[in-house]
Structure 1
Amino acid sequence: MTEGMNNEIRVESWNQLQEELFADSWSERLGRFRSRNAFRGLSDAGYPLLTTLIRMGGDFVTVERHILRNFKKYAHRNVVERDSLWHWLSVAQHFGLPTRLLDWTYSPLVAMHFATANIEKFSTDGVIWAVNYVQAHQLLPTALGNRLAQEGANVFTVEMLDQAVTSLDVLDALAQDDSLLFFEPPSMEDRIVNQFAFFSIMSDPRRGVDAWLARHPEIWRKIIIPAELKWEVRDKLDQSNITERVLFPGLDGLSKWLTRHYSPKR
């Protein structure tokens, strides 16, 4: 990836990390601090922005339809609020099925958690990607851009997409425009709500998001958290109650938090 325009920032302190994450959040029009960034935290700065579908390998483009069809066939019908492509994709991603979706959050603190949750990676630099979804949506095909404008929205909902993109075939037809869009899933579980989560999707399932971003350097930044800073960030997040216990409600999240919290520093 060719990085320009100071896209990659390596922070040196907790305070600088906060400044960089909230650097462009002031809205002159609103007179309020309202970030327009989607954040994604990764424990290894070298990890690409690839979907679980791409990481399957093989003929994953063809396999995608078979996986989703069989997921719909065998899943309980009451797992989705509505029988639509976007509800099924959201549920499938949530439960770990390989999809062309990628997880993001509106919260920079949640992104910091995911960049520092894996203590096995504390000798490796972490990263938080910040992508301006408003600017990304300005590059959408006119019909989709107009759909957002009609609603006065910055991010799609599944209901909006149900009307605009009704099938994978329609989505694939947008691939010629090489589109990246962000949408909010239904609030089907506390985990999605607590993580302030939403998804991105590429119209072309073969394209990684980072490859698309390389062509649009004006809309993103890559904030590197050095390995030597990770313990401080992790401890301060724990003190702020940004932990697995909150972000993954239930006994599994509680167990993950306690295991990490009482693990020795390495």
Structure 2
Amino acid sequence: MIKEIHIDTLEELLPLLTEQEYRPDLDRNRSPYVYRGMSDSSFKMYTSLSRNCKGLQKQLEPAILENFAKYAINDEPSIGHSVWRQMILGQHYGLPTRLLDWTQSALVGLNFATTEENLEEMDKHDCMVWRINMSELVDHLPEPYKYAVNRKHSTIFTVDMLKELTGNSLKQYDTDMGDSSMVIIEPPSLNQRIINQHSFFAVVPTGIKDIEKFLSDNTEDTVKYIIDKKLRWRVRDMLDQLNMSERIVYPGLEGLSKWIARHYYVK
């Protein structure tokens, strides 16, 4: 089930920013959620691989990763040893992959929701932030995967765990997941962008053709926060005040330039 929550005032954002569960075993508050910000509430959830390769993604994915590893080895010598590292590194440089970006920071999710290439569009349409509960996804995993993640008292996989479970094979992963489960992975800190964005990835198996339908059919705690278009500039200005901007999520001159351009944009 997917619940929609419409946000029309700044005050209504507070639950999104403070969602945590009390853990009596730790006497601390911890969040089981990850977030995905999208600049238009009408956008569907697709991986870049499915957008790029359409119905041929299963056939073309191996060639995409093989060629990326072949030409990227000079920049990242270890890239050939793990198909998961190939996907993670490639994802951050625009390579079409089956990975779907998420973040454990609601602020980062809001940042992407209130970002537009064309700033004239900021108040033309609503934006949204998706929220999923990682614990729910663990419940649907095959037993070997569930055992592996529970053994570490976690809900998140690493590249080493996936490599061990699948033998570094995407075909094995697809067979194991079928159309009823998928893994959330925390990437290694390959670059500063991954660190600053508090990045997580959903590794979408080829058996799941419609991600939103999968979430609707298999989860009870998924929320889609719809942020009214009249509020977008106000949220954007608040995030800047909280030091959450392109300058942070895209460290380097590119992010700095994007932030300055928007800061001095004349409405």
Deviations 1:197-230 (A, max 9, x none): 1100122265232121010240310111100111
CA distance in 2, matches of 1:247, 1:69: 28
Q: Are the counterparts in 2 of residues 178 and 204 from structure 1 also a CA contact under 8 Å?
A: no
Structure 1 match to 2:214: 212
Q: After superposition, what is the alpha-carbon deviation per residue over 1:131-166, rounded to whole angstroms, capped at 9, x for unaligned? A: 001111111000100110122222001111111122
Alignment-derived partner of residue 254 in structure 1: 256
Aligned to 2:84: 86
Matched, 1:60 2:57: yes
Cα distance in 1, alignment partners of residues 259 and 40 from structure 2: 20
- Which residue of 2 is the match for residue 168 of structure 1? 170
- TM-score, reference length from structure 2: 0.92
- Which residue identity lines up with residue 124 of structure 1 in the other structure? H
Structure 2 residue ranges without an equivalent (≥5): none
Match of 1:99 in 2: 97
The number of residue pairs the alignment matches comes to 261
Secondary structure of the corresponding residue to residue 103 of structure 1: strand
Q: Is the 8 A contact 1:178 1:203 kept in 2?
A: no
Structure 2: distance between partners of 1:140 and 1:173: 12
Q: Is the 8 A contact 1:54 1:60 kept in 2?
A: yes
CA RMSD for the aligned pairs? Answer: 1.8
Q: Is the 8 A contact 1:86 1:158 kept in 2?
A: yes
Which range moves more in the overlay, 185-194 or 18-27?
18-27
Describe the superposition over 1:52-71 as per-residue Cα deviations: whole angstroms up to 9, x where unpaired: 01111252221111111111
The answer to whether 1:34 aligns with 2:30 is yes
1:28 shift after superposition: 4.5
Is 1:138–2:139 an aligned residue pair? yes
CA deviation string 1:19-45 (max 9, x = no partner)? 134345444543322111110001101
Select 2:12's aligned residue among 13, 16, 33: 16
Query: Is residue 42 of structure 2 the alignment partner of residue 46 of structure 1?
Result: yes
Distance 1:28 1:12, change over 3 A: farther
Contact 2:38/2:127 (8 A) holds in 1: yes
Write the letter of the residue equivalent to 1:180.
Answer: M
**One-letter amino acid of the counterpart of residue 51, structure 2:** R
SS in 2 for 1:59: helix
Q: 1:73 aligns with which of 63, 70, 75?
A: 70
Q: Distance in 2 between matches of 1:204 and 1:175?
A: 9
Runs of at least 5 residues in structure 1 that lack an aligned partner in the other structure: none
1:156 partner SS: coil
| Distance in 2 of aligned mates of 1:264 and 1:22 | 33
CA contact (8 A) 2:157 2:186 kept: yes
CA distance in 2, matches of 1:80, 1:206: 32
1:110 alignment partner, SS class: helix
| Equivalent residue, structure 1, for 2:130 | 129
Deviation at 1:178, TM superposition (A): 2.5
Query: By how many angstroms is 1:81 displaced?
Result: 4.0
Residue deviations 1:165-209 (CA, integer Å, cap 9, x gap): 221111121243522210011101111101111100122265232
Counterpart amino acid of residue 146 in structure 1: Y
The equivalent residue for 2:153 is: 152
Q: TM-score, normalised to structure 1's length? A: 0.92
Give me the whole-angstrom Cα distance separating, in 2, the residues matched to 1:176 and 1:76.
32
1:240 Cα deviation (Å)?
A: 0.7
The answer as to whether partners of 1:174 and 1:203 remain within 8 angstroms in 2 is: no
* Residue identity in the other structure for 1:128: V
